[in-house]
């Protein structure tokens, strides 16, 4: 019942904070967010499980399953549990939420109790997404994420927040429906062989080839169509070029803590779902179309990096770089090797930490200087040394400097995808070139903003940031380095869950 407790405590905290007075909301929400944080760390330390949550023969941690609603031949189950893929993401969610709450103290200056309440509600929904193993339950949490996100961007965002919030809502909600139709088509195609929406049951039935035809649509066509529908649905969330246009708008308009959650955790929902649904349930379709999927991945990497290079707004630079980084994840997944899939999962966590760090650092700079334009500032390093040091370290992490989390992740992905399928050499090589562009735009931006003589076009006093602004940055950079130095903290766990998916290891199709 630990997962239920985790979600329930977070949800209850959200309610408490929502009705609390504005004055205490910030500190209260942070204090309450330490509960799920401690809970997830405790769960992590006692984690005992093996195998992949969706495949037979695996043992899950903290699993509970019971019949929720009985409806004729179909029933709904409450089924939650964690494996090596979801455990790190649950931990990531709780860590980032607490830090994001801390990072909200300075920028959020109105309607605090509502803001912090919604942030905690968002956390609860995200925990549900990563732990639910019944499709229906999962979908409930999946859609529930949108509601607080919509309000968070729409109310506390920048000047074009209404446009950004609605664009985000419409894009991702339509994507969810497309995905829903694709998945439900699979369930109906399975006919009587599954009687629940239990994800493990469906995954195993699909992998065993029990899919029949649905009306005039044959089994093979149904597989492909459902794969495409689900891929399209999740690709918007990731986001994959060309479905990415909602992301920069949402990022730029969102307040800093919301950007942290968006880049750090929400984008992972997309790749997590791709891994769970497309790549676990229909591995043969994924492998047959590996080149097409890899093309999407590589285009996202290069195009995202190119777009980032062209930006003059620090936050936009970081936003587009997310498109690029998430492209690596897709490339790792489609490789279907232990390193590729493991690296992709590792990259989800690593990118969560690093992008959270970058958005937070940009937010701190913005709070101080009230501008984000690269051309408006230079020489910040002399005025806010700690912030700048962390930002530089984070950027190095983004570029994949050794002994940082990003390096481990990208190395694994490239090792895994190189030679994994026909033409993968070229795709990998092209993706690796993305690193060069990343290093280019990050160094270029930093050189112009952070170093040189101090000059900022603003009416505000520029000085060192407050302690509660810098503290989360330091925590994050320490985590990034920790994961880079000792990837095994998560990697053995991840490997154990990914291994059964890999054909060469005997677990494939």
Partner 1 sequence: MAYQLPTWMSLGPTLALAVTGLLLLVLDSITPDRTDRGLLAGTAALGSLVAVGLAGWYLLAGTGEEPIRLYQNSLVVDTMALFFAFVFASVTTLVVVASYDYMRDHSYQAEYYALVLLAATGMTLMAAANSLAVVFVSLELSSLPSFALVAILKRNRGSVEAGLKYFLIGALSSAIFVYGVSLVYGVTGSLLLPEIASSVGGTDLTGVLGIGVLMILGGFAYKTASVPFHFWAPEAYEGAPAPVSAFLSSASKAAGFAAAFRVFTVAFPVDQLVTGATAGVDWVLAAQVLAVVTMTLGNFAAATQDEVKRMLAYSSIGHAGYVLIGLAALTGGDDQLVLAGGMAHLLVYGFMNTGAFLFIALTEYWSVGRYFEDFNGLATQAPFACAVMTVLLFNLAGLPVGGGFMSKYFLFGAAVGAGFWWLAAVGAINSALSLYYYSRVVKAMWIEEPSGDFDIESKPAGLYAALVAAAVVTVLVLPGFGPVWQYATDAAAALVA
Smallest separation, CB 177 to partner 1 (Å): 6
Q: Are 230 and 182 in contact (CB under 8 A)?
A: yes
Q: Is 72 in the site for partner 1 (CB under 8 A)?
A: yes
From the list 265, 260, 277, the residue with the least C-alpha distance to 238 is: 265
Computed from CA positions of residues 255, 260, 266, 271, in that sequence, does the dihedral angle turn out positive or negative?
Answer: positive
Smallest separation, CB 110 to partner 1 (Å): 8
Token output for 371:
């501008």
Q: How many CA atoms lie within 13 A of 371 on its CB side?
A: 17
Q: Is 140 in the site for partner 1 (CB under 8 A)?
A: yes
Q: Which is nearer to partner 1, 55 or 144 (CB)?
A: 144
Give me the 186-225 binding string for partner 1, x by CB under 8 A, dash otherwise: --x-------------------------------------
Which of 21, 45, 70, 216 forms a contact with partner 1 (CB under 8 A)? 70
Q: Helix or strand or coil: residue 475?
A: helix
Smallest separation, CB 245 to partner 1 (Å): 20
- Taking the mean position of all CA atoms in its chain, how far away is CA 106? 25
Q: Are 140 and 128 in contact (CB under 8 A)?
A: yes
Q: Is 111 in the site for partner 1 (CB under 8 A)?
A: yes
Smallest separation, CB 366 to partner 1 (Å): 22
CA 251 – CA 75 distance, rounded (Å): 39
Smallest separation, CB 126 to partner 1 (Å): 15
Q: Is 139 in the site for partner 1 (CB under 8 A)?
A: yes
Q: Is 146 in the site for partner 1 (CB under 8 A)?
A: yes
Smallest separation, CB 105 to partner 1 (Å): 20
Smallest separation, CB 253 to partner 1 (Å): 11
Q: Are 442 and 368 in contact (CB under 8 A)?
A: no
Q: Is 8 in the site for partner 1 (CB under 8 A)?
A: no
CA 136 – CA 118 distance, rounded (Å): 23
Smallest separation, CB 153 to partner 1 (Å): 9
Q: Is 12 in the site for partner 1 (CB under 8 A)?
A: no
Candidate ranges 157-165, 230-238, 307-315, 410-418; the one touching partner 1 (CB under 8 A) = 157-165
Q: Is 412 in the site for partner 1 (CB under 8 A)?
A: no
Q: Which is nearer to partner 1, 170 or 425 (CB)?
A: 170
Which of 23, 34, 74, 160 forms a contact with partner 1 (CB under 8 A)? 74
End-to-end CA distance of the chain: 33
CA 283 – CA 269 distance, rounded (Å): 19
CA 464 – CA 275 distance, rounded (Å): 42
Q: Is 162 in the site for partner 1 (CB under 8 A)?
A: yes
CA 304 – CA 309 distance, rounded (Å): 9
DSSP 10-54: HHHHHHHHHHS-HHHHHHHHHHHHHHHHHHHHHHHHT---BS-TT
Smallest separation, CB 143 to partner 1 (Å): 5
CA 492 – CA 146 distance, rounded (Å): 32
Q: Is 109 in the site for partner 1 (CB under 8 A)?
A: no
Q: Which is nearer to partner 1, 172 or 324 (CB)?
A: 172
Q: Are 176 and 142 in contact (CB under 8 A)?
A: yes
User: Which residues contact partner 1 (rule: CB under 8 A)?
Assistant: 18-19, 67-74, 76, 111, 113-114, 136, 139-141, 143-144, 146-147, 150-151, 154-155, 161-162, 165-166, 169, 173-174, 177, 188
């Amino acid at each position: 019942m630990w997962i239920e407790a985790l979600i329930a405590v977070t949800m209850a905290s959200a309610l408490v904070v929502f009705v609390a007075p504005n004055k205490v909301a910030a500190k209260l929400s942070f204090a309450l967010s330490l509960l799920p944080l401690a809970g997830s760390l405790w769960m992590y330390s006692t984690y005992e499980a093996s195998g992949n949550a969706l495949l037979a023969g695996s043992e899950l941690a903290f699993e509970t399953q019971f019949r929720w609603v009985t409806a004729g031949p179909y029933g709904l189950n409450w089924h939650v549990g964690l494996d090596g893929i979801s455990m790190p993401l649950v931990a990531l969610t709780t860590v980032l939420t607490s830090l994001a709450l801390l990072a909200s103290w300075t920028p959020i200056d109105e309607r605090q109790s509502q803001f912090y309440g919604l942030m905690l509600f968002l956390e609860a929904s995200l925990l549900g997404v990563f732990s639910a193993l019944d499709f229906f339950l999962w979908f409930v949490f999946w859609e529930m994420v949108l509601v607080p996100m919509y309000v968070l961007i729409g109310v506390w965002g920048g000047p074009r927040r209404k446009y950004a919030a609605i664009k985000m809502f419409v894009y991702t909600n339509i994507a969810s429906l497309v995905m829903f139709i694709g998945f439900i088509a699979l369930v109906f195609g399975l006919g009587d062989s599954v009687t629940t929406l239990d994800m493990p049951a469906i995954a195993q039935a699909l992998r065993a080839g029990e899919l029949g035809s649905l009306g005039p649509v044959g089994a093979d066509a149904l597989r492909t169509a459902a794969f495409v529908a689900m891929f399209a649905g999740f690709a918007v969330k990731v986001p994959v070029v060309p479905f990415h246009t909602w992301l920069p708008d949402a990022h730029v308009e969102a307040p800093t803590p919301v950007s942290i959650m968006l880049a750090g955790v929400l984008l992972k929902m997309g790749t997590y779902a791709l891994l769970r649904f497309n790549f676990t349930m229909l591995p043969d379709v994924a492998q047959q179309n590996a080149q097409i999927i890899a093309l999407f991945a590589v285009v996202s990497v290069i195009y995202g990096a190119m777009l980032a290079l062209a930006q003059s707004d620090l936050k936009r630079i970081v936003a587009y770089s997310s498109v690029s980084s998430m492209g690596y994840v897709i490339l790792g997944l489609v490789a279907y090797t232990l390193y590729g899939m493991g690296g992709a999962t590792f990259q989800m966590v690593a990118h969560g930490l690093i992008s959270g760090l970058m958005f937070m650092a940009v937010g701190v700079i913005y709070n101080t200087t009230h501008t984000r334009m690269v051309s408006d500032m230079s020489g910040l390093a002399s005025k806010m040394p700690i912030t700048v040091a962390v930002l530089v370290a984070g950027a190095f992490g983004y570029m994949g400097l050794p002994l940082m989390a990003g390096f481990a992740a990208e190395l694994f992905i490239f090792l895994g995808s190189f030679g994994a399928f026909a033409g993968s050499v070229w795709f990998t090589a092209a993706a690796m070139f993305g690193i060069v562009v990343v290093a280019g735009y990050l160094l270029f931006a930093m050189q112009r903003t952070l170093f040189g003589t101090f000059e900022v076009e603003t009416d505000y006093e520029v000085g060192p940031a407050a302690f509660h602004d810098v503290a989360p940055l330091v925590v994050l950079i320490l985590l990034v380095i920790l994961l880079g130095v000792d990837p095994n903290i998560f990697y053995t766990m991840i490997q154990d869950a990914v291994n059964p998916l890999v054909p060469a290891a005997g677990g494939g199709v």
